[in-house]
Amino acid sequence: MRGLKGRIACITGAAQGIGQEICIRLAEEGAIIIALDILDTKSTVNRCREKGGHARGFVFDVTNKNQIHRVVQEIGEQFERIDIWVNNAGVFDNTATVALSEQKWDQISDINYKAMFLCAQPVIPLMQKNNWGRFINLSSMAGKMAYSEEIAYCSTKAAVLGLTRALAVELGCHGITANAICPGPIQTDMLKNTYQHLADINGVTLEEWSADILKTIPAGRFGKPADVAALVAFLASDDAGFINGQAINIDGGLVFY
């Protein structure tokens, strides 16, 4: 157990995939879960409660500054603090550079990293009150590596690393850490949709495409949302209090820096 009992943990992109699993894991560790997503988070909230945890959901668009401030204010009024903020909401895109519209670029940037800045503004004072806090930001191995026709995804996930380091040096003296997580391929809808698209344009089946990728992963398997959730639980704990400004790979051995 990570000793998260009673911690107030807010997770964006919590309706499914990695975000849902983070909610469930932190609930198991005793945290009070605030599940945030543009989609309904009822299933996440119910699964946390089934584990004996406390959870509440909000419909929340990470690109909407007014909504962010309203929801953070409501959490602040109810609990008088926020301890853990996981910026997990994100979107993937694989459009060639010449085909990517400016509107799409802005949309991906707004969700994948500008949102982290917008959320940090009202959350920081609620962490500073207790001289304790954890920002955990989902980047990707694409934030360190580059992939063809992923200019928006690679750029925004690299920006997450810069934003995380900036938060880390600014907030470290307040007992607040900020760290980024760089997952490799994790089995979620996002990965399946991406691989299906790549399989289609390469004229192979999803199974054939996945099998080829699998051969490149030293661990010999794809990641599971639970793998990422376990890392989040550690970074959220007191044990991780001296880890700050890092970009931690969780990819079965694909990236070494």
Ligand X SMILES: NC(=O)c1ccc[n+]([C@@H]2O[C@H](COP(=O)([O-])OP(=O)(O)OC[C@H]3O[C@@H](n4cnc5c(N)ncnc54)[C@H](O)[C@@H]3O)[C@@H](O)[C@H]2O)c1
Residues that bind ligand X (CB under 6 A): 12-13, 15-19, 37-39, 60-63, 88-92, 111, 138, 140, 183, 185-186, 188-191
Q: Give CA 97 to chain center in angstroms.
A: 25
* Least distance CB 185 / ligand X (angstroms): 5
* Least distance CB 63 / ligand X (angstroms): 5
Tokens 């934003």, residue? Answer: 163
206, 199 contact by CB (below 8 A)? yes
Name the burial class of residue 85, with classes exposed (0-12), middle (13-18) and buried (19+) by CB atoms within 10 angstroms of its CB. Answer: buried
135, 177 contact by CB (below 8 A)? yes
- The Cα–Cα gap between 177 and 235 comes to 9
* Least distance CB 60 / ligand X (angstroms): 6
Three-state DSSP class for 176?
strand
What angle do helix axes 151-171 and 115-128 make, rounded to 10 degrees? 20
Nearest to ligand X of 168, 191 (CB atom): 191
* Least distance CB 81 / ligand X (angstroms): 22
> Which one of 113, 147, 153, 257 is the catalytic residue?
153
Backbone φ and ψ of 222, nearest 5°: -80, 160
Cross-strand pairs, 180 = 137, 247
- The Cα–Cα gap between 186 and 171 comes to 30
* Least distance CB 184 / ligand X (angstroms): 7
Nearest to ligand X of 177, 188 (CB atom): 188
Nearest to ligand X of 131, 216 (CB atom): 216
Nearest to ligand X of 28, 61 (CB atom): 61
Nearest to ligand X of 3, 39 (CB atom): 39
115, 12 contact by CB (below 8 A)? yes
- The Cα–Cα gap between 246 and 200 comes to 36
**113 included as an active-site residue:** no
- The candidate with the shortest Cα–Cα distance to 132, out of 13, 219, 244, 39, is 244
* Least distance CB 190 / ligand X (angstroms): 3
179, 164 contact by CB (below 8 A)? yes
Tokens 């400016």, residue? Answer: 102
Nearest to ligand X of 31, 229 (CB atom): 229
Indicate which residues carry an active-site annotation: 153
